[in-house]
Amino acid sequence: MKNGQRPGAGEVVLKTVGLTKRFDKIVAVDGLDVEVRAGEVLGFLGPNGSGKSTTVGMILSLIRPTSGHVELFGQDLTKRRDVIRRRVGAIIETPAFYPYLSGRDNLRALAKAAGGVSDSRIEELLSMVSLTERAGGKFKTYSLGMKQRLGIASTLLTDPALVILDEPTNGLDPAGQREVRGIIPRLATEGRAVLLASHLLNEVEQVCDRVIIIRRGKMVEQGTVGDLLSRGGHLDIEISADEVETALRTLRAVPGVEKVMADETGRRLTVLAETEGRIINKALAERGIYAAAIVPRRGTLEQIFLDLTEGSTPGEQTVDGKAERRQGREG
Amino acid sequence: MLSLLNSELFRLVKRPMPWIMLLILAIGVALLYGALWAVLETASNANDADGLSGNLRIGATTGLGLGLVSTLATILVIIIASSMIGAEYGWGTIRTLLPRASGRMPLAIAKLVTIGLFVTILVAFGYLVSLAMSALVTSAAGLNDDLGDGFVVHSLASVGRVIYTTVPYAALSFMVALWSRSNAAGISVGLAIYLLEDLVLAIIGLAGDAVDWLPDLLLSDNVSAILALNNVEEAGFGGVNPAGGPDPWQAAGTLALWTALFLAIALVIFHRRDVTNE
């Protein structure tokens, strides 16, 4: 693949192999294997201090791995350092620019450093992020949202094949967030690979094709968003309070049921199961229990994320993601 | 490397700091000549007036004017060299810039070349302002306007010597700012060494002759040995230090060794150290 060309759809653009970073005794990243392919948006999730920024730092050669390596476009990064300059665009945490320069001049300065970027490309990007009118203003006078938008424009200066965005909607108002969320999938549609590190799980759910969740530097889950959400689904069942004990015993015996919980009112059961609702209904009916409602609930990424990174159980999180604890008995 | 140099120069030109420095230098030189001219006009002692006339005339610009330029330029260069790298860490722009660079070494070298270009412009500009002010005073006060033989060569050599003697301080402050990731630390250490080295050596000298050799190994005496040639109008690119002390060529070698040491440490740190958000 020559410099400047877009990789073919599905081609592995970024690969980390056993990537590890130790800071003295602290293991920030521990044997991380990640692949990002052209045309996909990969969500990179993890709580604060989980190693996301350190991983991005290693991908961009800002941080030296203790062991393992990074491959960009099939080439070992240590041997082709210049690949980053032309083919990778990144915002690392809060976008940092020269405060005494205007937004436009900041892009010009970076364009000159990278080489081969025209003024018309800069204007095109300023327009794309709705900064044309304020492009002549000093960066230090920009709002956080404007800084974020300038950061996004800077990532695209060299028309990169890999875009790394770390919290790109941080500080944006809802309209700005929606705008950026519209841009991200478009980048992938144009054939780029996008690595999106974000705390906004709703955002990741909306724009990512695949998700990787890391905790303490280790990957704890990965898969397509659809797969992860299907794993986090459950059934809510409403029954009479005096039938709870029987229902719990019955449901625990149904094949495919992983966990059954009752809330404190005793009228609602939450069932984690791969079994369909009609089989649950049949099992209850055979014991003379007729549910008032059986409602399948889709899982959320937030629920799965918290399960994996905080050790909470799915039942401790409501389906709409609010931290409302069910203090019920677990069956 | 050229694209990085292009970016560094673009930012330098757009930055207010270098322009303010040029202004400070011009004002400093203008004030010096203005003040001495005023003194000359009111001097009642003929010997004082003769001494001042000798220094203010255009043929002596490499002594008086360039002497002030040397002091101011060294201070300003310490500030700009430190800022060139320290501010990148302070603003966090090092994390934005490095992924755009073809490598760490090319980026560091582009910065050092930019500092070198700025020093050259600063000293040359200061000298031109000195010449202009001296010409003005020479004309207004009716001083001797003979430039003497080899004035151009002596001017070029003198400007070159001033530039050369600022380089170790620039390298030192660059190294400290890089090591500490702090603009302020680079400036503080650079200025402290520049302004206090003589004082500290004088105090150490009180201990006796046992450490007589020490000043020859440090910066200040070697800088003085080289700059002393600016007062010798026939010195050209060579000459003997009229004030005693180290031989100018030996001094130049010592300064080169210090510069090489500072830059080597800076480049090794920059090459090896992780760039995090600390």
pLDDT digits (tens, 9 = 90+) for A229-264: 777 677 888 888 888 888 888 888 888 787 888 887
CA B4, CA A26: separation in Å to the nearest integer? 35
Task: Give burial (CB, 10 Å; 0-12/13-18/19+) of A267.
Answer: middle
For residues A57 and A28, is the Cβ–Cβ distance under 8 A?
Answer: no
Residues 6+ apart with CB under 8 A from B172: B78, B189, B190, B193, B258, B262
- Between these two residues, B248 and B23, which has the higher pLDDT value? B23
- Per-residue pLDDT band at B233 (split at 50, 70, 90): low
* Structure confidence by residue, pLDDT tens digits, B117-165: 999 999 999 999 999 999 999 888 787 777 777 889 989 999 999 999 9
Does residue A97 belong to the interface with chain B, where contact is any CB pair within 8 Å? yes
Q: Is a pLDDT exceeding 90 seen at residue A205?
A: no
Q: Is a pLDDT exceeding 60 seen at residue A319?
A: no
Strands A162-166, A193-197: pairing is parallel
When the pLDDT of each residue in chain B is averaged and rounded to a whole number, the result is 89
Question: Which ipTM score applies to this complex?
Answer: 0.88
Element (H, E) at B233: none
Chain B: closest CA distance from residue A112 (Å): 5
Does residue A139 belong to the interface with chain B, where contact is any CB pair within 8 Å? no
Least confident span in A27-36, A301-310, B118-127, B154-163: A301-310
Q: Cβ contact (<8 Å) for A110 and B274?
A: no
Task: Give burial (CB, 10 Å; 0-12/13-18/19+) of A112.
Answer: buried
pLDDT of res. B236: 59
Tokens read off for B109:
């070298």
- Per-residue pLDDT band at B60 (split at 50, 70, 90): confident
Least confident span in A27-36, A316-325, B182-191: A316-325
Strands A75-76, A67-72: pairing is antiparallel
pLDDT of res. B214: 83
pLDDT of res. B258: 97
DSSP classification of residue A6: P
Helix, coil or strand: residue A238: strand
When the pLDDT of each residue in chain A is averaged and rounded to a whole number, the result is 82
pLDDT of res. B176: 97
Please compute the mean of the pLDDT values over residues A187-198 and round it to a whole number.
Answer: 90
Q: Is a pLDDT exceeding 90 seen at residue A99?
A: yes
Does residue A112 belong to the interface with chain B, where contact is any CB pair within 8 Å? yes
Least confident span in A45-49, A64-68, B187-191, B258-262: A45-49
- Between these two residues, A94 and A155, which has the higher pLDDT value? A155
* Structure confidence by residue, pLDDT tens digits, B25-55: 999 999 999 999 888 888 777 777 888 888 8
Chain B interface, Cβ < 8 Å to A: 3-4, 6-7, 10-11, 14-16, 91-93, 95-103, 272, 274-277
Residues in chain B with CB shorter than 8 Å from the CB of A105 are 10, 14
Which parts of chain A fold into alpha helices (H)? 52-59, 82-87, 103-114, 119-128, 144-155, 174-189, 201-207, 225-231, 244-252, 277-286, 301-310
Name the residue in chain A with its Cα closest to that of B15: A100
Strands A67-72, A12-23: pairing is antiparallel
pLDDT of res. B5: 95
DSSP classification of residue A32: E
Q: Cβ contact (<8 Å) for B93 and A53?
A: no
Task: Give burial (CB, 10 Å; 0-12/13-18/19+) of B244.
Answer: exposed
Q: Cβ contact (<8 Å) for A110 and B96?
A: yes
* Structure confidence by residue, pLDDT tens digits, A146-179: 888 899 999 999 999 999 998 888 777 888 788 8
